[in-house]
Each structure stands twice: as structure tokens, then as C-alpha cells.
């Protein structure tokens, strides 16, 4: 089937141009289609902007094992609504994805359930080096340097040295120093004030673990992606990337700060914790400057009942995937960053960091993963209309200008104006790790 998206403002690597884009099956066939071009379906996109589909490289979709919070079907529908056409999911499901067999199980589940494209990280443990060396069909290795339990916590220096020295897949990590977190927790033992979460998981915990990970990556010359930067001090370490290091900011840390605990309580609890307004401003500065390359969500849903438990029984994490693009479009509306910079950070950069084939750009021959957005549409985030299984949002009641209105996955329209077509599913992303990552020369 051929689809012509006509007269859109198209965000291309070269800038924003008013062109028509022809889709032929699952691919982008022509980026500046002639006026006489015909197609099976013609979409009049006058007044709208066409972007590459968003790639979210950090999500927790809870399947298998915790599907009362979320599952691949509900989460991928929320992706489609939010303009996210590819997700990369973390390994801390139950059981955790620490072997090829468990990775394959998750890939098989997604093939049956996911409306959008997908990939799954393999999780590092202190003693699964052989699995990490042999893993295939994965974006990379995820290490929890702090903020985990059981086998997925890798805090031992010798184990970390081996992972960085003896594996070849790109590595990403959650960086909070476990020793610092435990010492702070002991000092604040007995607290029921959720604002203390930012004192337990403080600046020092983030900075110590980040310095440790960057040292490992630099010494072993191993590609490394720093997840959810939360402090301004960390951004100072990222300017010298040495051709190895990339980083991301997540929407909770870009839009919330410690002052918001008074309003949101345990709904705001996350790992890493939100920090100060000054930290938030420095994250935005690093994002605009390009020292932070990627915007992600760390979508980590829990039921509202779970989140409303008193601290510290309340779990960390929040759902955000169906609102992330709208939040960033609203930031464009208010002049915090440009639309091309948004597209670079949410679409192109994740594809380059993780060597994803055929995604992240509107270019002939690339996959037809696209989202049409209305930069003038203003509406509120509302709990009652959330598609994630959790059914709530920390941004409930927030008015945003700029929303996705139609989403295509591999040329198939999966979302339009509040409706979804689940008659066809996404596919596993292809990773070509010979490409060399974000800092390699791009075509």
C-alpha cells in the first residue's frame, strides 16, 4: 500500500521543509514527492509537522512478572498514542533478562503483543559474563550500579572491570553509588517524608557512580551511555566524550524538582531522585548544548494504590511515555529548545547510539515510522484518558501546546485522533553494532 502525506512541514536532517512524503509499504519511498504523485491513501497534512517516530531507549514495561502494573500490549498502545514508534526495554522484569533464552522469550512476547517496534537489553549480573559475551539481537548491556536488588546489582569493582574489559556490546548503566545511598538511608532511618528521598539518593550518590562508570569506559575504551542524568555536576563530566560516551535526560528530571514533592508527594518518587531547580536548569542547558544527546522517559509504571503508600513503602518510578513528546513539544512552544533539536534528541540520536538500522530520520529507504504533530493544539494531560495500564500521570491537569495526532509504524497507521488500529504489530529493531555508535561518522 502507498500512502502520500501531503504538504506537511517535514523535519529533515537538513532542516524543516514543506514537502510531501510517499510511503511504499514499510519504507519511505520519496521525501519530496512531485505534485502529480498518486497513492492508495492521501493524507492532507497542511498546517501540521511530520517527525520521525520517537525512539525511547529507556522503558520498563513490566512483562513478564509484573503485568498488573503494565504489559507489552497496553504500553505499546500508549507508545502509539504518544508518537513513540520504537522502545528499548530494561531487563529488570521477573525473571530478569540476563540470558539469551530470556531475551528470546521477551522478543517472542513482543512479536505477539507490541503495536510498535521493540528491543530488549540484556542485564548484567556479577557472574554472567559468558551470557553478555554471546548475546545477540539486543541494543546492549544494562548495568545497575546501585538502585537494584538481587543479581542485577553490580557494585563489585572486579565484576565491573570484567564487564567493561571482556564484552563488546555497548553498555548503559543506572549510576547511583550504593554505599552512599545506604549510608544516607541509615542516617535518615525512620523518615516518612518523601522529600527525604532526594537526600537519600543525593547528588553525591549520582556523581560518585557516574565518575566510576566514566572511568571504566575511558580506561577500557568501551562505548557507554549514561542513563537519566539528574544533577548539574554530572553534565560537567559529559563535555569530554572521548568518542565513547553519550548521555540522556529523562522527562521527570527535566520537568520536576524537589519543590514539587509538596504538591505531588510519592507520585514524584523516582530513582534517581529529582534534584534542585538549579540542577534542572543545568540539564536543559546541557541538552541544548548537545552534552546530553538523548531524551527518554524511564517509563516505570506502578498502580496508583502502590504509589500512594506512605514513604518509604512507596515504589519509585512513574508512567510518562504517552506524554513525553507532548511535553517536549510544549517546551518547543515556550522556546526552551528548537524542533530540530527535539527531533535529534528523541529520534535520530537514540538510533545512532544503539546502532538501530533504518530508523530515526525521514530519509528515502528508511522505515516509515512517523508521527504527525499539531504544534498549535492545546489540551490538558488527564488521568482519565491515559492509555497506560497504571491509569495516572504526574502531569495530570497540566496544559500542553503541541500534540501528536497520527502515528505510523512501518507504514501502517496505528494511531489517529484518539483511536488505535491493532491489526498489525511492530517488529524487532535490528542492531548493527559494527556501525560504531553515536560518535561514528554518519551517512
Q: Which residues are catalytic?
A: 298
Comparing CA positions, the residue from 439, 443, 442, 411 lying closest to residue 426 is: 411
Residues 293, 246: contact at Cβ < 8 Å?
yes
Residues 251, 324: contact at Cβ < 8 Å?
yes
Q: What is the DSSP string of 188-256?
A: TTT---GGGHHHHS-HHHHHHHHHHHHHHHHHHT--EEE-----HHHHHHSS--TTTEEEEEEHHHHH-
| Whole-number Å distance between alpha carbons of 84 and 311 | 32
List residues bridging with 245 in a β-sheet: 224
Comparing CA positions, the residue from 56, 117, 68, 52 lying closest to residue 388 is: 68
Comparing CA positions, the residue from 178, 183, 259, 253 lying closest to residue 213 is: 178
List residues bridging with 324 in a β-sheet: none
Residues 229, 283: contact at Cβ < 8 Å?
yes
User: What separation in angstroms does the CA of 39 have from each of 4, 26, 30, 251, 412?
Assistant: 6, 14, 12, 38, 14
Q: CB under 8 Å to 273, separation ≥6 — which residues?
A: 197, 198, 200, 201, 202, 230
| Whole-number Å distance between alpha carbons of 240 and 324 | 28
User: What separation in angstroms does the CA of 68 have from each of 275, 303, 374, 387?
Assistant: 30, 8, 33, 14
CA-based radius of gyration for the chain: 21
User: What separation in angstroms does the CA of 206 have from each of 199, 252, 432, 435?
Assistant: 11, 16, 31, 30
Residues 122, 98: contact at Cβ < 8 Å?
yes
Amino acid at each position: 500500500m502507498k500512502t502520500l502525506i501531503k504538504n506537511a512541514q517535514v523535519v529533515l536532517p537538513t532542516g524543516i521543509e514543506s514537502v510531501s512524503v510517499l510511503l511504499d509499504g514499510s519504507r519511505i519511498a520519496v521525501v519530496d514527492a512531485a505534485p502529480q504523485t498518486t497513492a492508495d491513501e492521501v493524507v492532507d497534512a497542511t498546517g501540521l509537522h511530520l517527525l520521525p517516530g520517537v525512539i525511547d531507549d529507556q522503558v520498563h514495561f513490566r512483562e513478564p512478572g509484573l503485568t498488573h502494573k503494565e504489559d507489552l500490549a497496553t504500553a505499546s498502545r500508549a507508545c502509539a498514542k504518544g508518537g513513540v514508534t520504537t522502545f528499548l526495554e530494561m531487563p529488570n522484569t521477573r525473571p530478569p533478562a540476563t540470558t539469551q533464552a530470556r531475551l528470546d522469550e521477551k522478543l517472542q512476547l513482543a512479536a505477539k503483543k507490541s503495536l510498535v517496534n521493540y528491543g530488549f537489553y540484556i542485564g548484567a549480573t556479577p557472574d554472567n559474563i559468558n551470557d553478555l559475551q554471546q548475546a545477540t539481537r539486543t541494543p546492549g548491556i544494562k548495568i545497575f550500579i546501585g538502585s537494584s536488588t538481587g543479581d542485577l546489582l553490580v557494585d563489585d569493582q572486579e565484576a565491573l572491570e570484567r564487564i567493561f574489559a571482556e564484552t563488546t556490546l555497548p553498555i548503559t548503566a543506572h549510576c547511583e553509588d550504593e554505599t552512599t545511598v545506604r549510608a544516607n538511608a541509615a542516617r535518615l532511618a525512620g523518615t516518612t517524608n518523601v522529600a527525604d528521598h532526594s537526600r537519600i539518593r543525593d547528588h553525591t550518590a549520582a556523581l560518585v557512580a557516574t565518575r566510576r562508570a566514566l572511568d571504566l569506559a575511558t580506561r577500557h575504551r568501551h562505548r557507554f551511555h549514561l542513563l537519566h542524568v539528574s544533577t548539574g555536576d554530572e553534565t560537567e563530566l559529559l563535555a569530554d566524550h572521548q568518542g565513547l560516551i553519550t548521555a540522556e535526560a529523562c522527562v521527570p528530571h527535566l520537568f520536576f524538582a524537589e519543590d514539587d514533592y509538596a504538591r505531588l508527594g510519592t507520585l514524584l518518587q523516582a530513582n534517581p531522585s529529582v534534584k534542585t531547580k538549579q540542577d534542572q536548569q543545568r540539564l536543559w542547558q546541557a541538552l541544548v548544548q548537545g552534552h546530553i544527546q538523548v531524551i527518554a522517559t524511564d517509563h516505570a509504571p506502578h498502580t496508583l494504590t502502590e504509589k500512594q503508600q506512605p514513604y518509604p513503602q512507596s515504589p519509585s518510578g512513574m508512567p510518562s511515555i504517552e506524554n513525553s513528546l507532548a511535553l517536549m513539544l510544549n517546551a518547543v512552544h515556550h522556546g526552551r529548545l528548537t524542533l530540530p533539536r527535539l527531533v535529534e534528541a528523541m529520534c535520530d540520536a537514540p538510533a545512532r547510539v544503539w546502532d538501530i538500522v533504518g530508523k530515526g530520520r525521514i530519509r528515502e529507504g528508511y522505515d516509515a515510522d512517523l508521527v504527525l504533530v499539531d504544534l498549535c493544539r492545546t489540551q490538558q494531560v488527564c488521568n482519565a484518558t491515559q492509555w497506560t495500564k497504571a491509569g495516572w500521570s504526574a502531569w495530570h491537569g497540566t496544559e500542553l501546546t503541541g500534540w501528536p495526532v497520527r502515528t505510523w509504524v512501518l507504514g501502517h497507521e496505528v494511531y489517529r485522533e484518539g483511536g488505535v488500529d491493532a491489526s498489525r504489530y511492530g517488529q524487532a529493531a535490528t542492531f548493527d553494532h559494527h556501525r560504531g555508535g553515536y560518535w561514528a561518522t554518519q551517512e
